[in-house]
Amino acid sequence: MRANRNLVAGQRLPRLDGAPKVTGRFVYGADFALPGTLYGKVLRSQVPHARIVRIDTGRARAMPGVRAVITAADIPATRFGNAIKDQTVFATDTIRFLGHPLAAIAATSVEAAEQALAAIEVEVEALPALYDPEAALASGAPLLHRDWHDYVALPFISRDGNVAGRTRMHGGDVAAAFAQAHRVYENRFTTALQHAGYTEPRAASAAWDGGDTLTVWTNAQLPFEVQTTLADILGMPTSRIRVIVPGVGGGFGGKLRIGVEHFAALLARQCGRPVKMVTTSEEELIAAHPRQAAIITLKTGVDRDGRILARQGRVIVDCGAYSGSGPGTGAVALQCLVGPYRTPNLEMESLAVYTNKVPSGSFRAPSGPMANFAVESQMDMIADDLGIDPLELRLRNIVRDGDTGPAGEVLRAVSIEECLRRAADAIGWHDRRPAPGRGKGIACSWWMTTGGSSGVYLKLNTDGSVNLASGAVELGTAALTGAAQVLAEQLTLDLEDIRIAPVDTQSTPYDYGAQGSRTAFSVGNACIAAAEDLRRQAFAVVARHLGLPADEMRLQGKCVVAGEHRVPLSEVARLSQLGGGGLIAHGTAINPPPAYDAARVENHPLPVWNTPSFHAHAADLSVDRDTGEITIHRYVVVQDVGYAINPTYIEGQIEGGVSQGLGQALSEEIVYSDGRVLNANLTDYKMPTSLDVPPIESILVECPSQAGPYGAKGVGEPPCIEPPATVANAIAAATGLWVTSLPITAEKVLLSLRKEYPQAVDHRDSARD
């Protein structure tokens, strides 16, 4: 329950970590260092696929300043991984991608470590490599993991050879529906590898206490997963591994999986001194965890009015050398490929495939932008072919409250119509082609609020403030400020009265992690539960002190109100310390998934989405027909947030997400040639800057959920989903052509206008009667 509204939740309040960040006092993971620290570096392979003949570290070990050198020969060949334990710390007998770790060195300086790396001798025998996931699926393709059947995997994973994961969703009779359709459209779309683009590289410091207890300071997003993974690698219990998170300079999913923590821990154990490691820009682009490249084929049948009768799709995600998040990413793509549309007959399949490229990860809204690019581009192609306005086509097909989703779940708090109409009104949809070479595009989607449990501890201080301890990491999104606003609202405090403790697996309760648009939602719910526990304890203290019944008390204005008595919370804390050791409360929350039809899904880790959100984007842009250059004049986002806990930070999330989405749409790609990254630096890897991003208008819709704090829904991931499709559709409105390969560079547009680019589609090429 909630006491009298204190109007903290829902307000545009400054973030709690803002002042130390803007004044330079904030300590990030890359800033952190211990006395006597050594510096670690990793030797990475320079070939994409080879058998290791020998690694000779003799010269490196003898170099000045070197304190430790380790290879696969120095540690157990323990396998670790997320869904599949298919990875080892170092390449053991086979190199599987350019950038594969071969050895690590700790030295008294970064320069000494780098010089020692250059002294290590590596002899290899080249092996045939696979860079194309479709080639890896072909009959007779070489197996990249010959022992794949021996790997430990989660029970839902379906594997076979180079396929690290296969998922299906189905319902109805697709073949019969296609046979009855007025038109059937079939298209192929491709997307590229994209780095998560966090400002701070991955960093970790490690130190051992007495040789049997490890402490790691890391800027990882999931400290409890880091703890568990380190326990697997080191063969020791989690209780002897402590993970502390200083500040994090952005993550966006790229820091979900373990990065350099294991190297630092192993080196520190070897040399008996703390070791610090920070990745370089080159390492980030050849050996981090980028968004998967994808190949998507989509077939849709419609009636004469454009209503969807059937949809069949296949998503191939390129895992790279190891499975990483690939199986889950491919699976989640299927819900996005269905889209927020009524689809009575569907047949969807995803394949996560091994190749000899960088192992990929879970970049913000994993697979959402790729699948949405396909489905929303095709929706515009269908509309154009049938002579129906693209907005109207969507409105004829979107789901409504009470409809069923792709897994047979009942959808609630559906707001997609409002989002579409408001986006269209804001962009001036009535004039889609205001001038030659200028066009407006629209796209819509839906996304989940990831589940998983959250726990918080609260401590009431004698100055009336409250300490909040959570295992969720603040990534820079202000999500924990949002959770603190919920807590302050519950306790009738000001936001400044909440003190958020650093994340430390030894002292903070478990949290599933800062991922999946869940932090403010889940931690906020845990804060509501903990506030109820704290209220109960505070009322009991006052009841004993005044001899009044606790069930007639309430919180108001930082006081316990009991009849005519007002006892400040500071006094309650003092009384509790005198008589009982102080007030410490605990709250937990988990958002269980809705019921669904299990017969409609196969091998899916997230078969049904918790508390989905709905959103629509619109863009107004121009295309220079002489150069292919694209200029975006305006960009509009309408997003259903359920309840805006802090509108300012939500708008910040929208603006940042759109910026990343526009990068994927127009310029960002980790470019490979024969297994080698050609643009492994931040000059040639083209992330948009503040000068490249157009004005972004954010419109917040509040259609309350049944599960979130005050009706909130997840907000962090959705903004990056629609930009590629929105931009592609606006380009098509301006030029008459859809480019079906991301990124849509000026070169591709110009070649398409000259009819020299094979992945440019005219709608007449995609439809059949």
Do residues 341 and 238 share a domain?
A: no
Domain that holds residue 382: 294-449+597-762
Band (758; pLDDT cuts 50, 70, 90): confident
The secondary structure of the chain in percent helix, strand, coil, rounded to multiples of 5, reads 30, 25, 45
The string of pLDDT tens digits covering residues 696-719 is 999 999 999 999 999 999 999 999
Residue 110 pLDDT? 98
Do residues 629 and 748 share a domain?
A: yes
- Exposure on the CB side of residue 166, measured as CA atoms within 13 A: 7
Q: Is the pLDDT of residue 526 over 60?
A: yes
Q: Is the pLDDT of residue 467 over 90?
A: yes
The string of pLDDT tens digits covering residues 397-411 is 999 999 999 999 999
The string of pLDDT tens digits covering residues 657-685 is 999 999 999 999 999 999 999 999 999 99
Could you tell me which residues are beta bridge partners of residue 244?
217, 504
Do residues 550 and 631 share a domain?
A: no
The string of pLDDT tens digits covering residues 299-333 is 999 999 999 999 999 999 999 999 999 999 999 99
Give me the amino acid identity at 157. I
| The domain boundary residue, chosen from 589, 609, 641 | 589
Q: Going by C-beta distance under 8 Å and a sequence separation of 6 or more, which residues neighbour residue 547?
A: none
Residue 764 near residue 385, CB atoms below 8 Å: yes
Residue 759 pLDDT? 85
Does residue 162 belong to any structural domain of this protein? no
Q: Is the pLDDT of residue 726 over 70?
A: yes
The string of pLDDT tens digits covering residues 66-114 is 999 999 999 999 999 999 999 999 999 999 999 999 999 999 999 999 9
Element (H, E) at 189: strand 183-191
| Strand ranges in 448-578 using DSSP code E only, listed in sequence order | 454-460, 466-470, 498-500, 503-504, 554-556, 559-562, 565-568
The string of pLDDT tens digits covering residues 37-59 is 999 999 999 999 999 999 999 99
Does residue 11 belong to any structural domain of this protein? no
Band (5; pLDDT cuts 50, 70, 90): low
Prior bond to 20 cis, omega within 30?
no
Does residue 139 belong to any structural domain of this protein? no
Name which of 538, 453, 524 is nearest 487 in CA terms. 524
Do residues 276 and 304 share a domain?
A: no
| The domain boundary residue, chosen from 567, 589, 611 | 589
Do residues 503 and 608 share a domain?
A: no
Residue 4 pLDDT? 44
Residue 2 pLDDT? 40
Does residue 282 belong to any structural domain of this protein? yes
CA–CA separation, 152 and 626 (whole Å): 55
- Phi first, then psi: what are they for 184, rounded to 5°? -125, 130
Q: Is the pLDDT of residue 295 over 60?
A: yes
How many residues would you count in the chain? 769
Residue 518 near residue 451, CB atoms below 8 Å: yes
DSSP 10-55: TS-PPPTTHHHHHTT---BTTT---TT-EEEEEEE-SSSSEEEEEE
CA–CA separation, 246 and 260 (whole Å): 15
Do residues 382 and 530 share a domain?
A: no
Does residue 52 belong to any structural domain of this protein? yes
Q: Going by C-beta distance under 8 Å and a sequence separation of 6 or more, which residues neighbour residue 139?
A: none
Residue 408 pLDDT? 97
Does residue 472 belong to any structural domain of this protein? yes
Which residue is it, tokens 């520190």? Answer: 268
Task: Find the mean pLDDT for residues 214-222.
Answer: 98
CATH value at residue 512: 3.30.365.10
Do residues 478 and 579 share a domain?
A: yes
Does residue 241 belong to any structural domain of this protein? yes
CA angle 148, 235, 260 (to 5 degrees): 75
CA–CA separation, 620 and 607 (whole Å): 36
Mean pLDDT (the chain) is: 96
Secondary structure, 3-state, 650-710: HHHHHHHHHHHHHHHHHCCCCCEECCEECCCCCCCCCCCCCCCCCCEEEEEECCCCCCCHH
Do residues 73 and 97 share a domain?
A: yes
Give the chain's radius of gyration (CA, Å): 27
Q: Determine the straight-line distance between the first and last CA of the chain, rounded to whole angstroms.
A: 58
Q: Is the pLDDT of residue 756 over 90?
A: no
Residue 491 near residue 531, CB atoms below 8 Å: yes
CATH value at residue 60: 3.90.1170.50
Q: Is the pLDDT of residue 153 over 60?
A: yes
Band (419; pLDDT cuts 50, 70, 90): very high
Do residues 555 and 565 share a domain?
A: yes
Do residues 509 and 618 share a domain?
A: no
Q: Is the pLDDT of residue 3 over 50?
A: no
Band (1; pLDDT cuts 50, 70, 90): very low
The answer to whether the pTM exceeds 0.95 is yes
Q: Is the pLDDT of residue 6 over 90?
A: no
Does residue 579 belong to any structural domain of this protein? yes
β pairing state of 630-640 and 696-701? parallel
Q: Is the pLDDT of residue 767 over 70?
A: no
Structurally, how many domains does the chain consist of? Answer: 3
Percent of the chain with pLDDT over 90: 96
Residue 103 near residue 41, CB atoms below 8 Å: no
Residue 761 pLDDT? 78
Residue 452 CA: distances (Å) to CA of 38, 315, 716, 768: 37, 26, 16, 45
The string of pLDDT tens digits covering residues 160-186 is 999 999 999 999 999 999 999 999 999
Band (721; pLDDT cuts 50, 70, 90): very high
Residue 259 near residue 200, CB atoms below 8 Å: no
Task: Find the mean pLDDT for residues 563-591.
Answer: 96
Do residues 398 and 466 share a domain?
A: no
CA–CA separation, 427 and 620 (whole Å): 7
β pairing state of 213-218 and 241-245? parallel
Do residues 78 and 212 share a domain?
A: yes
Q: Is the pLDDT of residue 232 over 70?
A: yes
